[in-house]
Each structure stands twice: as C-alpha cells, then as structure tokens.
Amino acid sequence: MAACGGAGCGPQCSSSSSAGGQEDALAESMGRLSTASAAAACGKCDGGGAAVAVAGGVGMCAGCFRAHLFGKFKLSVTSNAMVRPTDAVLLAFSGGPASRVALQFIHEMQSKAIQSWEASNSQALPVFSLGVAFVDERSVLSASLPGHEIQAAIEDIRSVVSGLSPGDKRVHIAPLEEVFSSGSDDKAARLKEVVGVISDETGRDDFVRRLRMLSLQKVALENGYTKIMLGTCASGIACHVLSATVKGQGYALPADVQYVDTRWEVPVVLPLHDCLAQELNLLCEIDSLKTQQLLDRPCSGINGLVSSFVSRLREENSSREHTILRTAQKLKPFSFNKFSANGYHDFLPSRLRPKFQNIDANECTFSEILCLICGSPFSESELLNLENTKLKAQKKIDLYTAHCCQSCHFQILPAATDMYGHFFSLLPKFWTEKVDAASASHSSLRDQIADYLLDEDDGN
C-alpha cells in the first residue's frame, strides 16, 4: 500500500474563491467576459449567435465556447495519452466548477467511446471505465460547517453522477481519516491530533492536501482504478507555481505543473491543465451545471495570499495565469512526468504512436529522492544533507527528518525537535516504512563490510 507521491494541487485548488466571494467572482467574470464582446457576433460560427464569452481573444457564442473548452480537454487527454481504452479512471470530485466540468467532459468522452464501440463490428478494444471519488474532510473542518450540510452535498453528488448515462459510474465517499488505516485506534482522533501538531497555518493546509491525495490513491488502489483524474485547472496551477516558489521549492516545482504525474502508484493526470477557472465558472453557468460552493474552503496562510494575488493579477490582465503557466512549463520536468512503461502506448491510435515511441526510446530511470511528507523531488542541497545524515544517523527519527524537504521541515514538522518522534509516530505507517526499507537496505550493505571498517565505535 505504500505510495510515494507529490504534492500536486488538490481538487480544492480548482476554485480559488471563497464561498462568499464565489458568486461575486462569477458575476464579475461573466461581466468582464461579456463586456469585451457586447452585442458582437460569434467569431467562430460567423453570426450564429450573440457572443457570450471571450476565449483566446475571440468572441464566442455559448456553443462555440463550450466546444472550445471541450477541445482543450480532449487535446490534453489524447496528446498526453492520459486515458487508454483499458484504463479505469477515478475522477476526484470536489463539487467545484472545475471538477464538475471535468466530470462532464470525461463522461462525454466515455459516452462517445461507448457509442463507437457498440457501433463497430470488431469490438476489439474496450471502453475505459469511470468512477467518482469525493474526499470527506469533515473530521478536519472547523465547526463552522455543519455535518448535515456535507451529507446533503454528498447526496447531490450521487444524484449528479447517477444522472450521467450511459456508462455505470460508482461513487466513492472517502473520509480523510481512512488514510490512517493501520491499527484499531480512533482514526479521526489521530487525524485531528497529527494536524493539530502542525503549528504553521500553511503547513497544515499543505498537509491536508497531501492527505487528500493519499486518500484518493487508497480508493483507487482498493477499487482497481488505473488513473486518477483531477480537476486542477490553469488557474490552480498558476497559484501553485507561485506558492511553491515562495516556499523555496523551485527545484521541485516542475513536478507538479505537468499534465502527468507517475510518482504515484496510480498515476495522476490533469486534463483541465489549459483551462482557466474563469472559463470553467462561466461554462457551469451556461450549461446549468450544479456546483457545490459550500465545500470550497478558502486557502489560508501563504496559499491564501498567493490566491488573492493571482486573482488581482487576473483582474488586471486575463492572460496572466497562462503566462505564469507558460513560464513554469519552460522549467525542466522530471522523468516521472510522462508515461514510460514498456508497451504503455500500444493502444494509441496509430497516428499518435510515433510521437510516444521516441519518448519510450529515451526512457530514463526514475532516480529522484522524494520528500517523505510532500513527495517533492530533493534538490542538490537536500540530497547532500540526507547523505550526511545517513552517515551519522543514530536514530530513526534523524533519518525521517532528513527525508523531509526544507519546506516541510519548516512548515510541517513541529518547531520543537523533541516533538519529532511523536509526530512521526502519528503518521500512517506506510509513510515511514519507505524510509525504514531504504535504511534497512543501507544497513545491510554496512553489515557486509563491517569486518573491514576501522572505526569500531561507529554503529547504528
């Protein structure tokens, strides 16, 4: 069950507005998009209808705007080989506009695939299957949000999903505390305790996001899913770019802003990578897609500050988020930011296969050391620190600590070093088991050469 992974933006990132600000932001965004093309005709279908939105500098009617966004979604999926016919896809659903659109679009792709499959004679390839997961975070939410409102939201999600046919789709409600599956003690209490130990507001926020991803991984692994699809959009990614920069994670940042992330046991894909939150909000309005504003918690701390900053930049220049994204995409991605397993691309349409075959040929080994807590690849200085600690570590706690990146060290580990042991003991066991395994491997090597070591006082 051990899953190493990265701190990508969770579904919550897909909508950066607070519940109260959501409606205002939507009204503003609609107003702004509409104003630019007031009374103008659609630039795409040439006079087919009044323009309601501007995307990519062109005024579009509702139908063309929708097709434009769907086209971006589909292009992301196909050009990055996100979904194969044999895949079982788990969509992370938060109820926000972005994941709602992602659900709608992936459902439409599935529907079309089913129709093609039924119409074809060969029926050689299956159609990918789809499930939906909602992470229930009631146990870490403040009392300001009553449990029964979340329950009502969950029922809404079930009805939305059951209304999408053809193609059966299971709904998985994943309580966050289920990540703490080992042992028989009270999981919710343990979750509360470990989160409570983190004194930095931003650190708590990032830690909960990490748990959310682990929760999705758990659901996926237990139910046979082969991909996890997030509703993270361009706006959320832009916020993450700045947040990671502010936290000193410039080295690791590219890992979280690509379309594909295979650090996880179940790879994570971001099909709405190129769509703006503003566009997705507008589409939900146009198509009357019901969203759950209730579940949108405002980011706090550094993340909240970054969110406000990006909103302000967007108001001033609507393409700023894309510029930030483009900058980040010029940074070097990691080997796990693409699919490279042998034979992975075999099911692709023949016209796409040559592109990926070149990638397969250049396959390189995944050799990054990842942070124990957030899964970020270690920078050179962090690696040096880790190597030094391995040489002289007397306690497991020291190894665990050295396996945390500098950002997590500062904002997630307790300020008092004597609290480290307590903190690590609260974590789900499979987190520290990876370090134990690596440490055991190192000890084993040491044992083999122990007879030849001169310094007899040295010993773990």
Piece in contact with another protein (CB under 8 A), picked from 170-178, 300-308, 341-349, 414-422:
300-308
> Cβ neighbours of residue 441 under 8 Å, at least 6 residues apart?
none
3 state SS for 25-44: HHHHHHHHHHHHCCCCECCC
Name residues contacting another protein, limited to 50-89 (CB under 8 A): none
Q: Which of 81, 132, 328, 393 touches another protein by CB under 8 A?
A: 328
Which helix (H) or strand (E) element contains residue 399?
A: helix 396-402
Cβ–Cβ < 8 Å for 373, 350: no
**Residue 305 binds another protein, judged by CB under 8 A:** yes
Q: Which of 26, 81, 91, 242 touches another protein by CB under 8 A?
A: 242
- Token digits of residue 225: 């899913």
Residue type, 99: S
Number of residues in contact with another protein, rule: CB under 8 A? Answer: 35
Q: Which of 247, 263, 314, 338 touches another protein by CB under 8 A?
A: 247
Piece in contact with another protein (CB under 8 A), picked from 109-117, 285-293, 345-353, 403-411:
403-411
DSSP 225-273: --EEE----HHHHHHHHHHHHHTT-TTTGGGGSSSEE-SSSS-EE-TTT
Q: Which of 99, 235, 376, 407 touches another protein by CB under 8 A?
A: 407
Q: Which of 96, 97, 254, 428 touches another protein by CB under 8 A?
A: 254
Identity of the residue, 213 or 244, whose beta carbon is nearer to another protein in the bound complex: 244
Name residues contacting another protein, limited to 171-210 (CB under 8 A): 202
**Residue 410 binds another protein, judged by CB under 8 A:** yes
Cβ–Cβ < 8 Å for 348, 81: yes
- Token digits of residue 321: 């988020």
**Residue 31 binds another protein, judged by CB under 8 A:** no
The least CB distance from residue 198 to another protein, in Å, is: 14
**Residue 40 binds another protein, judged by CB under 8 A:** no
**Residue 439 binds another protein, judged by CB under 8 A:** no
The least CB distance from residue 419 to another protein, in Å, is: 20
Distance CA 451, CA 279 (A): 67
Piece in contact with another protein (CB under 8 A), picked from 138-146, 184-192, 314-322, 335-343:
314-322
**Residue 241 binds another protein, judged by CB under 8 A:** yes
**Residue 428 binds another protein, judged by CB under 8 A:** no
- Token digits of residue 345: 């691309």
Q: Which of 29, 249, 258, 376 touches another protein by CB under 8 A?
A: 249
Distance CA 211, CA 204 (A): 10
- Token digits of residue 322: 């894309």
**Residue 219 binds another protein, judged by CB under 8 A:** no
Identity of the residue, 139 or 308, whose beta carbon is nearer to another protein in the bound complex: 308
Q: What is the DSSP letter of 137?
A: -
Residue type, 199: S
Cβ–Cβ < 8 Å for 239, 277: no
Beta strand 53-55 with 58-60 is antiparallel
Q: Which of 63, 167, 298, 301 touches another protein by CB under 8 A?
A: 301
Q: Which of 13, 25, 277, 324 touches another protein by CB under 8 A?
A: 324
Q: Rg of the chain's alpha carbons, rounded to an integer? A: 23
Chain centroid to Cα 319, Å, comes to 23
**Residue 32 binds another protein, judged by CB under 8 A:** no
Q: Which of 332, 364, 391, 392 touches another protein by CB under 8 A?
A: 332
Q: Which phi and psi angles does 8 have, rounded to 5°?
A: -75, 170
The least CB distance from residue 408 to another protein, in Å, is: 13
Of 299, 285, 284, the closest CA to residue 209 belongs to 299
The least CB distance from residue 364 to another protein, in Å, is: 14
The least CB distance from residue 457 to another protein, in Å, is: 33
**Residue 33 binds another protein, judged by CB under 8 A:** no
Beta strand 169-175 with 129-136 is parallel
Q: Which of 327, 417, 441, 460 touches another protein by CB under 8 A?
A: 327
Greatest alpha-carbon pair distance for the chain in Å reads: 85
Q: Which phi and psi angles does 223 have, rounded to 5°?
A: -115, 15
Identity of the residue, 219 or 310, whose beta carbon is nearer to another protein in the bound complex: 310
Piece in contact with another protein (CB under 8 A), picked from 153-161, 162-170, 304-312, 448-456:
304-312
Q: Three-class SS of residue 338?
A: coil
**Residue 351 binds another protein, judged by CB under 8 A:** no
**Residue 234 binds another protein, judged by CB under 8 A:** no
Piece in contact with another protein (CB under 8 A), picked from 73-81, 95-103, 154-162, 249-257:
249-257
> Cβ neighbours of residue 204 under 8 Å, at least 6 residues apart?
195, 198, 300, 301
Beta bridge partners of 91: 132, 229
**Residue 290 binds another protein, judged by CB under 8 A:** no
Instruction: Point out which residues bind another protein (CB under 8 A).
Output: 202, 241-242, 244-251, 253-254, 301-302, 305, 309, 312-313, 316-317, 320, 323-324, 326-328, 330-333, 379, 406-407, 410
